[in-house]
Structure 1
């Protein structure tokens, strides 16, 4: 018979922390509440919603697996090895796992600081290439620079030479990042050039600020103009502040935290929230970034930031809360709707875009299989992880073609460009637009 003080099992071995964790754990500790790791109960319900796990079937490429990896690094039990880094890099940050999780794990608040830390401490050969860094930090966040860079492309498109250049194979001589960029460029339109204030049409119902974005306004200025017209048609006076800047998402998600915060402050200054009923966004990624400002801004700026965030509304969210005026011009087309990740998962906006489309006379809305599975755009993921991005893009296009729709609508610029690329590569006749583009047609377009 054993004595009362005899141990029933061997004591647990003391695990020494790894000598070099590979990331700045002190920096991470300031930005991640450790209890966020503990919210995960390891049930695995997130795995079926995770695009990378669906494609690879690797547990380390699932949200549950990545949380385990991040927690192990945080605890000092695991170093940020190339293998660990690869599994975390492959995450799209689509946040579909947050929708699926029964425990309410805030996965975005874990992976986003980790991705920044990984880029800040990336070893030689890892992280962004010099070309990617220039593009992401010094080109994309500035709409005027993007427009200037695309001006030769727009001219070549107008005279029909871009297709000839593509067929000749000359673009294959470009570096991979530039090849991917060239493949994403749509048919470019003239800049929107909106005045600073646009009057409401009919009785004034609201005064709203319109956020233009950077890539959105440069690549799809017709959607910017359509958004303004739709708001006007619904009795909104539209204010377009000249001092606004990129939302900061491109910098933030590519490891440049300080410039992202400066861009955020510029937007806080540009929009006079006390004079506006809402700040309207037509790009899901920008809206999600804005709504997350309180999470990334220093505590001493939270009061001002919270007042700003309270006014942020996706255009579909705002119109449905305002009560949209019924459009009267028929749009006779079969349409399917793709849920942009940062609209349906990050902002929980699903019904409003479909409700707006359902108001359009003549429009038939058909379901899209795997509508909430990421298309592979994921901000700049299609530049940094082109292989997985292409796999997910092809999967999305398969589902779009199976839906039998002539038009696919999506509320995010990244999704629009990604799907448009797949359409061109397949030679498909499907058209991809923002829901507000269709609503604008149903209001009569530019007829004011």
Structure 2
């Protein structure tokens, strides 16, 4: 079949039609798809969604609410890419299709509702705004008012998505302060790297940024932290707001001096995936610049594994399990590197997690916008964690850290949920995990 003629009202018109044809509908992707594993609906499987998108693109199917819901329910975890023997680039189909679907919508754009405008777009991408907005939450946590409100009839006065947001907040720790612009290598310099700090992660997990920087220093890295960097743009892009995401991307092009560093390092899987995809999201005059930037981006575990980790000496006598963040394992194909680093920590026993590569339900802001499916996947992840007997869960994405921690609180069995860099840092500093 020939690709359809260009049509600005067709959400698939701007997509390379050959990407649709790569899918031979064999179905080997279905077992890896979280939504299909949960509801068994073929329309909620990768091949089902590709069929829907292609049918809309061909003009054989109307772009109606039902079709839209099947596409919106996709977590964009890209587990299907890992499973596909034909090399289907599912992310290059679902992401631009949903962006166009949102832009062409006339009456129900989700990016224009109050929650997206005020919270997801107006608050999350701006760390200083977020920090200020969390002061009431800090006070509420100290006084126990947050649990009181969420467990009382008063919660009915709070919009459901704000309730979700409140329930996801971890115990807010003391802010260790911003990273300095330059952190010099310890010992013989081996590399010079820039560190991407992001938005939500810099507010919720700044202590992990500090841990990451210290681990890099211990491994002979000069660490540069550009102060003009901004959000990676994933929050906007995955909600269908392409232009604001591009503006943020281009600000990051200006913030990082690529000639001055060996790599741009990221410790959040979702951000890393977005940064590595800068080169193909927007085919315009700056595409080559974005491709060059994307080529410098590495996950911190990926980089340290390539560099060769200087083994830490402090013992951590704990049993942990590692959850593969979707946008690290599937989007970036980084799986073994974090495990190899963790296995070099003396005393640490690492147990494999059943269904480790199945999404926990976080998926960026999915757990705020699709709560039912997100909760089902969180419970599935929790049951698999229980099977390991581990009391420490390690994962390399801010969203996963928040999602799994929330489920552990809901189950009344709080676990330690940490980033790989947190454990490496403790081992280098010879400190226990509290």
Relative to the length of structure 1, the TM-score reads 0.92
Identify which range, 190-199 or 410-419, moves more after superposition.
190-199
2:394 to 403, 409, 434: 409
Number of matched pairs: 425
Q: 1:158 aligns with which of 142, 165, 168?
A: 142
Which stretch has the larger CA shift, 270-279 or 111-120?
Answer: 111-120
Matched, 1:398 2:383: yes
Do the aligned residues in 2 keep the contact of 1:229 with 1:446 (CA within 8 Å)?
A: no
Change (3 A) 1:446 1:226: farther
Say which one has the larger Rg: 1
Deviation of residue 159 (structure 1)?
4.0
Poorly superposed stretches of 4+, deviation over 4 Å = none
Q: For residue 160 of structure 1, report the CA deviation from its aligned partner.
A: 3.9
**3-state SS of 2:121 partner:** helix
Structure 1 residues 322 and 332: CA distance shift in structure 2, 3 A: same
Which region of structure 1 is more displaced relative to structure 2, 248-257 or 150-159? Answer: 150-159
SS in 2 for 1:183: helix
Say whether residues 1:65 and 2:48 are aligned partners. Answer: yes
> Deviation string for 1:126-180 (max 9, x for gaps)?
6343223321111111111111111211232234443333344533421011011
Match of 1:323 in 2: 308
CA distance in 2, matches of 1:138, 1:441: 35
Mapped pair 1:186 → 2:179: no
Matches of 1:282 and 1:247 in 2, distance apart?
Answer: 13
Structure 2 partner of 1:261: 246
Alignment of 1:204-353 (within 5 A): 204-353=189-338
What is the Cα-based RMSD across aligned positions, in Å?
Answer: 1.7
Partner residue of 2:118 out of 118, 134, 137: 134
Q: CA deviation at 1:190?
A: 2.9
2:418 is equivalent to residue 433 of structure 1: yes
- Secondary structure of 2:381's counterpart equals helix
Contact 1:132-1:177 at 8 Å conserved across structures: no
Superposition deviation, residue 346 in structure 1: 0.3
Query: In 2, Cα distance between the equivalents of 1:259 and 1:250?
Result: 10
Deviates more, 1:200-209 or 1:368-377: 200-209
TM-score by length of 2: 0.94
Of the structure 1 ranges 301-310 and 104-113, higher mean CA displacement relative to structure 2 is found in: 301-310
Secondary structure of the residue aligned to 2:342 is: helix
Runs of at least 5 residues in structure 1 that lack an aligned partner in the other structure: 1-16
- Residues 1:106 and 2:89 aligned together: yes
Q: Would the aligned equivalents of 1:136 and 1:254 in 2 still touch at CA under 8 Å? A: no
**How is 1:55-94 mapped onto 2 (pairs within 5 angstroms)?**
55-94=38-77
| CA shift digits 1:254-308 (9 cap, x unpaired) | 1111110010011111010100011110000000001100111334223222221
Asked if residue 419 in structure 1 is aligned to residue 407 in structure 2, the reply is no
Structure 2: state its 5+ residue gaps.
Answer: none
Q: Is the counterpart of residue 199 in structure 1 residue 181 in structure 2?
A: no
* Cα separation, partners in 2 of 1:201 and 1:213, compared to 1, 3 Å: same
- CA distance in 1 between counterparts of 2:313 and 2:54 reads 55
